[in-house]
Amino acid sequence: MSNSNERTEILRLVETGKLSASEGIQLLNTLDRTPRIAPPPRTAVNTRGRWLRIRVTNLTTQAPKVNVNLPLGLVSAGLRIGQRYAPELNGVDWDNLLDEIQRGANGKLVEVEDQDDNERVEIFVD
């Protein structure tokens, strides 16, 4: 995905209220610091075209409450932001999760059900 498309996606998330303006600025600044043409190091996993997807659904109705898609290049910033909005994930080892993603993990990485709030939180990489 091009830098332009990633910027558009971030702005859309701000526009729809899924990200605050300050979170959008943080992600845009992170994107600006991301090299545009340099090839990835040989040991790094190519994140081009891959996405981190965070879904929060109502357990009873299965209706979506939150649906956030971030380019994997922004995953570190996105996870820091996401931690604030999903306190039920406080038991997740975020450093380990980032390591798994950087090593090429794919599919569902986290699924947590919060019975008190009647929510399911799922984190995917694809």
pLDDT digits (tens, 9 = 90+) for 85-110: 666 666 667 777 777 877 888 888 88
Express each pLDDT in 104-126 by its tens digit.
Answer: 888 888 888 888 889 988 888 88
Under a CB-based contact definition with an 8 Å cutoff, are residues 81 and 19 in contact? yes
* pLDDT beyond 50 at 43: no
Task: Report the pLDDT averaged over residues 27-31.
Answer: 75
The chain-wide mean pLDDT, for the chain, equals 76
Q: 4 or 25, which is more confident? A: 25
Q: What angle do CA 15, 18, 22 make, to 5 degrees?
A: 75
Express each pLDDT in 62-79 by its tens digit.
Answer: 999 888 888 877 776 666
In angstroms, the CA 82 to CA 79 distance is: 5
Tokens encoding 106? 């794919």
In angstroms, the CA 49 to CA 73 distance is: 9
3-state secondary structure of 52: strand
In angstroms, the CA 44 to CA 16 distance is: 33
Q: Are strands 64-71 and 107-114 parallel, antiparallel or unpaired?
A: unpaired
Q: pTM of this prediction? A: 0.54
What's residue 88's pLDDT? 61
3-state secondary structure of 77: helix
Give me the amino acid identity at 43.
T
Bridge partners of residue 103, in order along the sequence? none
Q: 108 or 35, which is more confident? A: 108
DSSP state of 69: E
DSSP state of 93: -
